[in-house]
Amino acid sequence: MKNERKIGRILFTIILVLHVIGCYVMGIAIIADTETAMITGFGVNYADDLEIVGLVIGMELLFLGTMALLGILWTRKQKLTGIYIGSAVGVYMFLFGIVACIKFGTTDALIVDSIRGFLTIVFGYMVYKELKASLANG
């Protein structure tokens, strides 16, 4: 049982680290150079009016990355709050992938974001069960 606890926590932490790295890299890149990010990342014809959209997307990604980072830190301290926040990041990613697929008809977000979000939810649930059992046993 102790090894299972480690495995669940390690997998949850690894996937949250991937969220943190991805969100910070993309967020900073979009804020630093909105024009290039819009053209290469989103395939959108750039106009100066889109600068605010780049700022909003970049800030949202930095916020999401920070939530994942807090999930890591609090989960390591064996706080249920870390699991809740990390799982909330997973739910966001999962829903984003589904909605993007429905709205835009592309499967990129569905495959990448939804799978990553789903795995985050699954690993978060594993850690939740393990931590609850650990707290119940004293």
**8-65: per-residue pLDDT in tens?**
899 999 999 999 999 999 999 999 999 998 888 777 888 888 899 999 999 999 999 9
Q: What is the mean pLDDT of residues 57-83?
A: 96
Q: How many Å from the N-terminal Cα to the C-terminal Cα in the chain?
A: 14
Q: How many C-beta neighbours within 10 Å does residue 137 have?
A: 7
Residue 79 belongs to domain spanning:
2-133
63 in a structural domain: yes
Tell me which residue of 73, 77, 90 sits closest to 13, measured CA to CA: 73
Give yes or no for a contact between 7 and 123, defined as CB atoms under 8 angstroms apart: no
- CA geometry: angle 115, 101, 49, nearest 5 deg: 115
Query: pTM to 2 decimals?
Result: 0.88
What pLDDT, on the 0 to 100 scale, is given for residue 138? 63
110 DSSP assignment: I
- How many percent of the chain have pLDDT more than 70? 96
Counted domains in the chain: 1
Q: Is residue 138 part of a domain?
A: no
